[in-house]
A = this chain, B = another copy of it.
Amino acid sequence: MLSKKTKYGLKALTYLAKQEGNQPVQISAISKDENISRKFLESILLTLRKNGFLGSKKGKLGGYYLLKDPKDIKMSSVMRILEGPIAMVPCVSLNFYEKCDDCPDETACTVHNLMTEVRDSTLHIFNNTSLADLIK
């Protein structure tokens, strides 16, 4: 299941990408238009900023804006920041790998092999979809 954090984060990015120009947009505007809890959204935008997707302007008339061209924001990177691993099991994750406690031999594990296939196909989509593609 996709967390609300990721879902809201994607909606916020979409919202910002649709803006004319690149003026700062206030949290409360996004929160209201997209029906997202204001405080929760605040924390999400903060992590997107800390990870280089967004810039912010403080104080009155402040807000958030995209730092990169939507064409250069790949879904795979957004997903990894907000959701964490793309793979369904840690032993299959490229960026968040963890060995399973059970399972002496990964290459012989049917679950591992099946989930590798799933990861590949999902990753293919996320690597080839940008924020710009979403708003087309």
Contact = CB atoms under 8 A, between A and B. Distances in A.
Interface stretch (A21-29, A48-56, A60-68, A106-114): A106-114
Nearest to A131: B110
A89 interface: yes
A105 interface: no
A103 B35 contact: yes
Interface string A83-115: 001001100000000000111000001110111
Interface in A33-50: 34-36
Contacts of A2: 88-89, 111, 115
Contact of A75 (B36, B109, B114): B114
Interface residues of A, number: 32
A89 B113 CA distance: 24
Contacts of A7: 89, 111
A10 B134 contact: no
A122 interface: yes
16 contacts: A2-B88, A2-B89, A2-B115, A7-B89, A11-B102, A11-B109, A14-B110, A34-B102, A110-B134, A113-B134, A114-B125, A117-B125, A118-B126, A121-B121, A121-B122, A121-B124
